[in-house]
Amino acid sequence: SRARGPMVRSVLEINKPANTANGAGKVDLAGEVANELKYRLAAPKADTDKLYQSVAWSVHNRLVDAFDKTHEHWNKEDPKHVYYLSAEFLMGRTLTNAVHNMGLQGDYAEALKQFGQTLEGVHGAETDAALGNGGLGRLAACFLDSMATLDLPGWGYGIRYRYGMFRQAIKDGLQVELPDYWLDNGNPWEIRRPETRFNVGFYGKLEGDKWVPGEEVIAEAYDVPIPGYGTKTCSNLRLWDALPLVELDLDAFNAGQYEKAVEQKRKADDIAAVLYPNDATEYGKELRLKQQFFFVSASLQDTIARYLEKHSDLAGLPEKACFQMNDTHPTIAVAELMRLLIDVHGLPYDKAWAITTKSLAYTNHTVMPEALEKWPVAVMQKLLPRHMQLIEQINDAWLASVKDHSASKGAQLQAAKKAEREAAAAAAKEERAKAAAAALEAATTPEEKAAAEAAAKKAEEEAEAALKAILEEDAKVDYVAEVLKSYSIIQENQWNKGEMLVNMAYLAVVGSFAVNGVAAIHSEIIKTDIFPQFVELTPEKFQNKTNGVTLRRWLAYCNPELSALITEALGTDAWVKDATLLAGLKPFAEDAAFRKRWRDVKFAKKAALAKHIKEVTGYEVSTQPLFDVQVKRIHEYKRQFMNAISIIYRYKKIKEMSPEERKKVVPRVCIFGGKAASAYYMAKKIVALVVAIAAKVNNDPEVGDLLKVVFLPNYNVSEAEVIIPAAELSQHISTAGTEASGTSNMKFALNGSFIIGTMDGANIEIGENTGFENLFIFGVQAEEINRLREERKDFKDYDPRWTEALEWVKAGAFGRADYFDDLVASVNDMTRGNDWFLLANDFASYMDAQDEVDKLYRDQEEWTRRSILYTAGNGFFSSDRTIDQYAKEIWSVQPCRQA
């Protein structure tokens, strides 16, 4: 049970709340829960839902105590803070996490007994806070947990979306999206701060440098306390809601113009209404830019106001505040910080620029060109005219500063081009000389000799003229201008000539003192492919910070059974805070009795998942087969389609086998989960295909338990907490060079799941930590991708297994042949220049790797031995390690701990 999780000293002992402590220093939690039930909820009876809410409100009180003490302490000590600016925080549920982090699980378990309930029992009544799309948002949530646990003064800043990530359902075999109204029952995890409000303007006009906004809204703060693990520190996630300046325009109302009367309110409501459900950018949508500016402006105003309560000179801001920009979404911060310093606080441009570039840092999470945000100048000009003006000024100053560099680089390029042309001409000349000599040799008569000589001379003259012409052409190319253009923050849209765009990543690079990628390979790729020209100038700016995950949520709390076993083996639960201690499990891999217990835990988690599968899909799966999982956003680059095609092939072969052959098959349950962005055409078809495969395979009596396929709808944080501990194999099979890091790969590995994957993202570092011999690595490497894209062959020239399975889909084996037509064509119709992600190319080695999986799974002792090595080897991927690196190498923020 969850109560068997790691124990920390209860914050009730550490932080005795004055208001609820009775004479003996013991808090009557049951009484408090009863109070919440009666007075806050006015609930006639304690059903699970009401009980959850009462417990949550009681925990809220404990959080407020810890929150207040922490902020009192930080306020007194005035340490440097980091502010994590992120459009997304994918928090999931809070109750279990908060109770365990504060060490209150025993106390609340005891209290709940009086209501005939358990903590695990009420846990499921909580709705996920799904204010994020996927990896990027969940990373932000893990970072908050680690910052608090490490006692680092730091806040998250974001948007309090009223609708989070849509809920996914499957209807008639297709994905449908349902709204996520997560605030329906109130939210016990937030504190509204009506006294913390800032105005944020949009539109309007410029009078010289002075901006007169045409629309204004109020940003109002909501604080979400973030309790650290085993510490008194409870930090803050501040989320902004948008309110109108005027609820109701009375003049309009009295004039009978009711729509106009509420127009301001409606406009404000739109801003914090809904999370954009794309995990790759929404091109040019004004409301999205409005959201970004809204939360960035409020957060910067808030921080500056707090700074000025204690200090008078804004030049000192970088010693007290560092802003980490989570991808390009908050990068309008570069212009907004400049505006606030210049327009509001009266600083000269140069001083403001010095402060800005010492305070901002930027993390890149993607190399996919379509996800690198570029805002049309026209949209920016309309919505944020002053910011556009400042961006132009920043760009001009920036380009002026790289002028000399561009001049010499341009001249170098030009000289190199000339040398290249001349070398080619010289080589051609040599060839011609040889040919001429041969012709002369072959000529027998004087006439033939003369003709050969004349021809050679003519060819020579023509070649010289051609070279001269081409060199003249080259000389006309303005290399210096080309180089300068490559540095420009404002650039022409390559798909729509004439439209100018603001490249937000470039703005971030120019405005930041540090730029980092999220895994070793990714940080190299951003240097060589995304920002090479910037690396030339300031190589020291570019860093790597390999992602991590919080071991609290992703091991200790989601897998209390495994945690208990680990704690018993290590003789301590200190690994929850010091993940390097997991290495101490290595010797236990050699212990047969320990392996048996390890297997028993995995089996129990598989049984729990099987039960869940039955509840949500109706499919019955045995707990004996290998549980093979791919859960993540649905994307072509993540190649769920390749996994699906391999399952189709497996299915076809099983059907063709004799009963004798079938006995040798390693049974599998193939589990998928993930949302397709609502407008992502191919991704939706991939979901439909998996659902269709499941419907066919699971109802085929010939196949039975040898193969089952499951699409678990509405993959989210809470689903992940049930799925990940039960996985034996997990798939991280993106085309090499496309997945920046991946973070679920780390969660699976820590829960003892094997990885089948490509040399991509953090898979590589997981291989280094686990031993590559323990991973099922396949496919080509990132460096080969460009060449292979050029060389794509007809699909019929690839692995025959690939062709066979695809043809079967085309022939309608899973129904909807017409509907799947485009999907199949996307990987096999070379006339359309397709298979961009090289599925066909990697399929053979993928299938070979899958055969290796089956082979190893037959040897359960060896399988278990290596499974233990996954958990033992991957302590490196704790977000505590990641955050420690950010704090030391980027933020210069030190822990500030209460005694």
Min separation Cβ 373 and ligand NBX, Å: 7
Pairing of β 191-202 and β 729-732:
unpaired
User: CA–CA separation, 16 vs 368, rounded Å?
Assistant: 50
**What's the Cα-to-Cα distance from 48 to each of 122, 124, 189, 493, 761, rounded to whole Å?**
6, 9, 18, 55, 42
User: 295, 157 in Cβ contact below 8 A?
Assistant: yes
Kind and range of the H or E element at 223? Answer: strand 215-227
Q: What torsion, rounded to 10 degrees, do the Cα atoms 842, 845, 850, 853 define? A: -130
Which residues have CB under 8 Å from 390's CB, separation 6+? 335, 338, 339, 342
747 is catalytic: yes
Near ligand NBX by CB under 6 A: residue from 65, 573, 719, 739: 739
Interactions with ligand NBX, residue window 783-842 (CB under 6 A): none
Q: Quick one: 185 exposed, middle or buried, by C-beta within 10 A (0-12, 13-18, 19+)?
A: middle
Minimum CB–partner distance for residue 786 and ligand NBX (Å) = 20
Q: Give the separation between CA 796 and CA 100, rounded to whole angstroms.
A: 56
Instruction: Lay out the site mask for ligand NBX across 61-90 (x = CB under 6 A, - = otherwise).
Output: ------------------------------
State yes or no: is 758 an active-site residue: no
Residue 89 or 754 with smaller CB distance to ligand NBX: 89
The whole-angstrom separation of Cα 56 and Cα 94 is 9
**Range in contact with ligand NBX (rule: CB under 6 A) among 9-17, 605-613, 735-743, 768-776:** 735-743
292 vs 414, beta carbon nearer ligand NBX: 292
357 forms bridges with which residues in the sheet? none
Residues 130-149 touching ligand NBX, rule: CB under 6 A, are: 133-136, 139
- In whole angstroms, how close is the CB of 382 to ligand NBX at the nearest point? 21
Among positions 385-444, residues that touch ligand NBX (CB under 6 A) are: none
Span of 22-30, 438-446, 733-741, 805-813 interacting with ligand NBX by CB under 6 A? 733-741
Paired strand residues for 517: 544
**Residue choice 235, 714, 731, 741 for contact with ligand NBX (CB under 6 A):** 741
Q: Minimum CB separation from ligand NBX for residue 90, in Å?
A: 9
| Nearest residue to 129 (alpha-carbon basis) of 121, 138, 119 | 138
Largest CA distance in the chain: 125
Strand order in the sheet with 514-517: 191-202, 215-227, 234-244, 154-159, 81-85, 321-326, 360-363, 514-517, 542-544
Q: Which residue out of 80, 365, 387, 675 is catalytically annotated?
A: 365
Q: What is the CA radius of gyration of the chain?
A: 31
Q: Is 743 designated active site?
A: yes
Q: Which of 7, 34, 183, 371 binds ligand NBX (CB under 6 A)?
A: 371
* Residues whose CB falls within 8 Å of the CB of residue 20, separated by 6 or more in sequence, listed in order: 27, 28, 32, 61
Q: For ligand NBX, which residue has the nearest CB?
A: 135
Report, in Å, the least distance between residue 322 CB and ligand NBX.
19
* Main-chain dihedrals φ then ψ at residue 132, nearest 5 degrees: -165, 165
CB 90 within 8 A of CB 131: yes
Q: Pick the piece of the chain touching ligand NBX (CB under 6 A) from 127-135, 403-411, 498-506, 661-669.
A: 127-135
- Given the residues 50, 595, 747, 801, select the one marked as catalytic: 747
Cβ-based neighbours of 60, under 8 Å, separated by 6 or more: 188, 189
- Minimum distance of ligand NBX from residue 633's CB (angstroms): 7
**Vertex 646, ends 641 and 647: CA angle to 5°?**
95
Contact 763/757 with Cβ under 8 angstroms?
yes
The interface mask with ligand NBX, positions 657-696, x = CB under 6 A, is ----------------------------------------
Q: Which of 94, 149, 231, 743 is catalytic?
A: 743
Choice among 73, 632, 635, 650 that is catalytic = 632
Nearest distance, CB of residue 733 and ligand NBX, angstroms: 13
Does 9 participate in catalysis according to the annotation? no
Q: Is residue 764 exposed (0-12), middle (13-18) or buried (19+ Cβ within 10 Å)?
A: buried
Q: Looking only at residues 351 through 370 of this chain, which bind ligand NBX when binding is defined by CB under 6 A?
A: 365-366
Is residue 518 within the footprint of ligand NBX (CB under 6 A)? Answer: yes
Residue 326 or 871 with smaller CB distance to ligand NBX: 326
Q: Which of 15, 389, 714, 743 binds ligand NBX (CB under 6 A)?
A: 743
Strands (DSSP E) along 679-819, which ranges?
Answer: 707-712, 729-732, 754-757, 776-777
632 catalytic residue (yes or no): yes
Length of the chain: 899
Min separation Cβ 6 and ligand NBX, Å = 26
Kindly tell me which of 101 and 741 has the beta carbon lying closer to ligand NBX.
741
Nearer to ligand NBX, 117 or 366 (CB): 366
Tokens of 27: 């808090």
- Cβ closest to ligand NBX, residue 53 vs residue 882: 882
| DSSP 8-state assignment for residue 128 | P
Q: Which of residues 848-867 bind ligand NBX (CB under 6 A)?
A: none
From 290, 545, 638, 708, the catalytic residue: 638
Catalytic residue among 387, 633, 635, 732: 633
Among 647, 677, 688, 740, binds ligand NBX (CB under 6 A): 740
Which residues between 748 and 767 bind ligand NBX (CB under 6 A)?
A: 761
Min separation Cβ 695 and ligand NBX, Å: 30
Of the pair 414, 770, the CB lying nearest ligand NBX is at 770
Within 10 A of 540 (CB to CB), how many other CB atoms are there? 8
Candidate list 385, 673, 742, 767; residue touching ligand NBX; CB under 6 A: 742
Minimum distance of ligand NBX from residue 220's CB (angstroms): 24
Q: Which SS3 state, helix, strand or coil, does residue 521 take?
A: helix
State the CB neighbour count (10 A cutoff) for residue 861.
Answer: 11
Encoded one letter per residue, x for contact with ligand NBX by CB under 6 A and - for no contact, window 247-286 reads: -------------------------------xxxx-----
Q: Which is nearer to ligand NBX, 139 or 756 (CB)?
A: 139
Q: Please confirm, yes or no, whether 638 is among the known catalytic residues.
A: yes
The token pair that represents 845 in the structure block: 């080695």
Region 522-581 residues binding ligand NBX, contact defined as CB under 6 A: 547
Measured from the CB atom, the residue of 133 and 414 that comes closer to ligand NBX is: 133
CA 582/CA 573 separation, integer angstroms: 10
User: What are the residues whose beta carbons fall under 8 Å from the beta carbon of 86, sequence distance 6 or more?
Assistant: 136, 137, 140, 156, 157, 158, 326, 327, 329, 330
25 C-beta neighbours (distance < 10 Å), count: 9
Torsion angles phi and psi, residue 376, rounded to 5 = -55, 135
Please, which residue, 128 or 799, has the CB nearer to ligand NBX?
Answer: 128
State the nearest-atom distance from the C-beta of 375 to ligand NBX, in Å. 12
CB of 138 to ligand NBX, least distance (A): 8
Closest CB 371 distance from ligand NBX, rounded Å? 5
Q: How many whole angstroms separate alpha carbon 528 and alpha carbon 322?
A: 27
The CA distance from 24 to 149, in Å, is 29
Size of the site for ligand NBX (CB under 6 A): 20
Rank residues 216 and 282 by Cβ distance to ligand NBX and give the closer one: 282
Q: Which is nearer to ligand NBX, 127 or 741 (CB)?
A: 741
Given the complex with ligand NBX, which of 136 and 671 has the nearer CB atom? 136
Applying CB under 6 A, the residues found at the interface with ligand NBX are 133-136, 139, 278-281, 365-366, 371, 518, 547, 739-743, 761
Q: Which residues are catalytic?
A: 365, 632-633, 638, 743, 747
